[in-house]
Structure 1
Amino acid sequence: MGEENFKKECFKCEFYSFGTSKIFEKRVDKYGCRLKAITFLGLLSPVLLGGFVASFSVESALLKNSLLPVCGSLTIFQAILSLLSLVCRWDETYSYAIGSVRNNTMLMNDFSRLKNTNAKVNSKRFQLLTGDYDRQNNADIGQNISTKEMRYAMRQSLFQYKSECRTCGIKPISLKPSKCDTCGNF
């Protein structure tokens, strides 16, 4: 592989690894927030009831008429949210996303360093890294990445690397979505 082609391939892998890490960073935020909400709601009712009973009385009209129905409703809502979380496997999605961010960030950094080296000296390292890249890419594809997420990733990468979109010909100056079906519409 020639020196120029080597640098292009390293940059391409770096570019796409960066974008993919951004997709999964967004998922980490989304599912992390959902899982924290379930934990919070799971503890809210017992803490409210326990605190009220410890502070006042079990016989209080406020407890029977207001607090118990509110806590009961919160408990039902939390149970439904927990069931949805189990069925949709939010914890697995969250864990995978954390691993993908870590792996894609590592690949991005490795390809960034590698592109500034000699192609002949580092061809073996390049082959190993592209094998890791392909395995991670295949695993990530299995996580049902939507076209909106792909456009989001493209916008993030174009902005980060100050590159021009091949479809619309614009170099993004912000992360706000454009009308482009390659780097916008997310």
Structure 2
Amino acid sequence: MATGIDDYRRKCWDAALHAYGTSYIFQKRANRLKRSTDLLTWVGLAVPLLIGALVGTLGGYKLWGAAIATGSVIAAAQLVINLWSVVKRWPEELPYSSASATANESLASRFAALGDDPPTGLQALRTQFEKLNVEDTARRARDNEKSVTEKERRMGMRAGLRKFQRPCSACHQVPTTMDPSNCGVCGQF
């Protein structure tokens, strides 16, 4: 019966690694989207406010034509980037990525806790594992709709291997950094 418990403990640790890797992917996405939307918002407010402040302060400034033309070019570029952000759904992707990172981090922690300190009976372990697995399966289905790339998967794998100090199945190395390697499983991102 110990073999059954050991099998479920291994499954718990594998699931923890994958959930942590997915959390890492979506945390990276959330950080990138947050920086991009913050910059977009800042430029969208700073340019008109700066021009308005200059007009109010300097009044009949001789180079207003150049200042307004420069501001208009910046505003046009910002408008194009803003349109791109709407088409790529940045406003929707940011909260999703943050929520997914949090949910997957929680799953990873709970799988790891179950693998580290399982209940004594196989049936109790199986029941707890299945509960977590149902939640994990539902989370993966939602995350898979978000077009996770192969590069992101390799990056997530490296993050999970590094977090849980496990060797890669291909290169047999335990990652110590998030620097990409030449490995086709935990590198090349």
How many Å separate the matches in 2 of 1:8 and 1:46?
58
Aligned match of 2:55: 53
Instruction: Please point out which of 32, 35, 58 is paired with 1:33.
Output: 35
Aligned match of 1:140: 143
Q: How does 1:67-82 map to 2 (within 5 A)?
A: 67-82=67-82
Please say if 1:114 is aligned against 2:114. Answer: yes
Cα deviation per residue 1:80-120 (whole Å; 9 max; x = unaligned)?
Answer: 01111111111111121011001101101111221212143
Structure 2 runs not aligned, ≥5 long = none
How many Å separate the matches in 1 of 2:153 and 2:69?
45
Aligned match of 1:101: 101
How many Å separate the matches in 2 of 1:173 and 1:112?
20
Q: Does the residue aligned with 1:165 lie in a helix, a strand or coil?
A: coil
What's the CA shift for 1:122?
A: 3.7
Instruction: Please point out which of 127, 147, 167 is paired with 2:130.
Output: 127
Q: TM-score, normalised by structure 1?
A: 0.94
Q: Does the residue aligned with 2:124 lie in a helix, a strand or coil?
A: coil
Please say if 1:176 is aligned against 2:179. Answer: yes
Please say if 1:16 is aligned against 2:18. Answer: yes
Structure 1 runs not aligned, ≥5 long = none
How many Å separate the matches in 2 of 1:127 and 1:12?
14
Cα deviation per residue 1:22-69 (whole Å; 9 max; x = unaligned)?
Answer: 000110011111111110111012111111012110x211222x2111
Aligned match of 2:164: 161
How many Å separate the matches in 2 of 1:122 and 1:171?
28
What's the CA shift for 1:125?
A: 2.3
What's the CA shift for 1:139?
A: 1.1
How many Å separate the matches in 1 of 2:102 and 2:172?
31
**Aligned-partner residue type, residue 21 of structure 1:** S
Q: What is the aligned-residue RMSD (CA, Å)? A: 1.3
State the percentage of identical aligned residues. Answer: 27
